Amino acid sequence: MSQKISGVKGMNDLLPGEIEIWQSVEGRARDVFGRFGYGEIRTPMVEDTALFVRSVGEETDIVGKEMYTFEDKGGRSLSLRPEGTAPAARAYIEHSVNNQEPVTRWFYMGPMFRYERMKTGRYRQFYQIGAEAYGAKEAAQDVEMMDMVVQFLESLDLKDISLNLNSLGDEACRPAYHAKLVEYLKAHREELCGDCQRRMETNPLRVLDCKNEKCQAVAAAGPNVLEFLCEPCRAHFNDLQRKLTGLGIKYVVNPRMVRGLDYYTRTVFEFIAAHPALGTASTVGGGGRYDTMMKGLGGPDVPAVGFAMGLDRLVLLLKESGKKFTQAPDLFVVAVDEGSQDLALTLTSRLRREGLRVDFDTRGGSLKSQMKRADKSGAHFTLVLGEAERTSGQAKLKRMAGGEPIPVTLDDVAKALRAHRDAAPA
């Protein structure tokens, strides 16, 4: 007997019964983001490794530990994309989009890949929905993007998700904060984990992002980045908060939040869910401003802001909500004898062409067994075809929820279904 082959650990199958939730979320995203003027892009799942080293940061855990990197047959170092911002930036630069329009708004959705320790809602192939806006440096662009996320979450009827804000300053004021932070961390070196002792020398902001409890305690008592903001960065952050308040969007200022990537300047934000289904992986999405990354990748000096949300985590929350996302068939057609199979096949084909959801068991079987399948399918109506129906061209629609059968001609089944299905229970 051949050995069974299983899927790769951390890379999950999505099957009917669950995929409908994913499709619903993706559909809502396309609807809401489209209303905000964002167009969809699709980038390759494989990129030059240098793209992520230069944008995400060589000292980040993503580049240092988590990327799926390999050498292709041409000797080039390639990586499965671990996030969506850098590929979008590469596409923006490569296609000279800045010469075509002053402000560009894109969104994307698809799989990302990171080899990391798995837990609830965090997998090695995971899915993100994200957006990027290029060309506007004003706080209004940051706020518009956060408003879009809020409206998207509201469209999913997700509750208890809070917005956390911070500002990391820019190249003018961040060096002073870095120096003070390193001085503080060195005084508490022995209290830090091994990774953070290394991060302290290479990228001290990463210490603030560590999930080790002792490191978090050290970070909580450290210098506050907001106290080091220069006047332009402070004005930007104040304007951001004022505009959010004007839109009625509630938020919490969290000066310890830095996000996990190197490219952010000024605004960073996260949407955090208070739900036990996610365990400790409570951040469902986040992002920020990255005004210097485009130039650093060899592109134009264009300001940008973006975010990404974990689709896996959103689906977990929606599963917990108990909502139904599968769409039941309008009709289940039952063929009670072999002679009615061709008629059933012809009728179901015609009804499907007319836009109706119709189920039909091509194996046939007894009337009793087929009615059981109809019940299991959740179909709103059934229609039984036998010799009498073939001969007369007449049949009866039976409402599965109960009630009197509805006489129909076989030519008028679609019309009758449309007239009565809205009254059928969901």
Q: Are the beta carbons of 210 and 196 closer than 8 angstroms?
A: yes
pLDDT digits (tens, 9 = 90+) for 128-178: 999 999 999 999 999 999 999 999 999 999 888 999 999 999 999 999 998
User: Which letter does DSSP use for residue 247 in this model?
Assistant: T
Average pLDDT in the 233-255 region? 96
Cα separation, 421 vs 426, whole angstroms: 9
Average pLDDT in the 335-356 region? 92
What confidence score (pLDDT) does residue 211 get?
Answer: 78
Residue 223 predicted with pLDDT over 50 = yes
Residue 24's nearest CA partner among 109, 138, 117 is 109
What confidence score (pLDDT) does residue 109 get?
Answer: 97
Residue 134 vs residues 10, 106, 219, 259, 273: alpha-carbon distances, Å: 33, 9, 33, 20, 28
Residue 262 predicted with pLDDT over 80 = no
Cα separation, 155 vs 28, whole angstroms: 7
Hey, which bits of 181-241 come out as E strands?
none
What confidence score (pLDDT) does residue 280 get?
Answer: 57
pLDDT-based confidence at residue 425 (cuts at 50, 70, 90):
very low
Hey, what are 177's tokens? 């904060």
Residue in this structure with the two tokens 């509805």, named with its chain if needed: 406
Hey, which bits of 290-420 come out as E strands?
304-310, 331-335, 358-360, 381-385, 394-399, 406-409
Higher-scoring residue by pLDDT: 260, 242: 242
pLDDT digits (tens, 9 = 90+) for 390-424: 999 999 999 988 888 999 999 999 999 998 866 54
User: Which letter does DSSP use for residue 227 in this model?
Assistant: G
Q: Above pLDDT 70, what percent of the chain?
A: 95
| Mean pLDDT taken over the chain | 90
Instruction: Identify the bridge partners of residue 9 per DSSP, sorted by sequence position.
Output: none
What confidence score (pLDDT) does residue 344 get?
Answer: 93
Residue 37's nearest CA partner among 154, 141, 165, 111 is 141
Instruction: Identify the bridge partners of residue 271 per DSSP, sorted by sequence position.
Output: 163, 285
Residue 277 predicted with pLDDT over 70 = no
Higher-scoring residue by pLDDT: 320, 136: 136
What confidence score (pLDDT) does residue 392 get?
Answer: 93
Instruction: Report the half-sphere exposure of 166 (CA within 13 A, side-chain side).
Output: 20
User: Which letter does DSSP use for residue 122 in this model?
Assistant: B
Residue 213 predicted with pLDDT over 50 = yes
Query: How large is the angle between the packed helices 311-321 and 19-35, nearest 10 degrees?
Result: 110
Residue 281 predicted with pLDDT over 60 = no
Q: Which CATH superfamily is domain 331-423 in?
A: Anticodon-binding domain (3.40.50.800)
Residue 73 vs residues 33, 51, 76: alpha-carbon distances, Å: 39, 19, 7
What confidence score (pLDDT) does residue 426 get?
Answer: 44
Average pLDDT in the 199-215 region? 81
Cα separation, 288 vs 27, whole angstroms: 24
What confidence score (pLDDT) does residue 254 get?
Answer: 93
Cα separation, 241 vs 238, whole angstroms: 5
DSSP for 284-317 reads EEEEEE-TTHHHHTTS----EEEEEEEHHHHHHH
Torsion over CA of 121, 123, 125 and 130, rounded to 10 degrees? 40
Residue in this structure with the two tokens 């060899």, named with its chain if needed: 298
Cα separation, 310 vs 235, whole angstroms: 31
3-state secondary structure of 134: strand
Cα separation, 302 vs 108, whole angstroms: 20
Residue 298 predicted with pLDDT over 60 = yes
CATH code assigned to 19-163+249-321: 3.30.930.10
Higher-scoring residue by pLDDT: 206, 51: 51
pLDDT-based confidence at residue 59 (cuts at 50, 70, 90):
low
Residue in this structure with the two tokens 């930007």, named with its chain if needed: 236
Instruction: Identify the bridge partners of residue 233 per DSSP, sorted by sequence position.
Output: none
Q: Return the percent helix, strand and coil in the chain, to nearest 5.
A: 45, 20, 35
pLDDT-based confidence at residue 349 (cuts at 50, 70, 90):
very high
Lowest mean pLDDT among 33-37, 136-140, 229-233, 340-344: 340-344
Residue 256's nearest CA partner among 225, 287, 290, 213 is 225
Residue 256 predicted with pLDDT over 70 = yes
Q: State the amino acid at position 302 in one-letter form.
A: V
Average pLDDT in the 321-332 region? 85
Segments making up each domain of the chain, as ranges = 19-163+249-321, 331-423
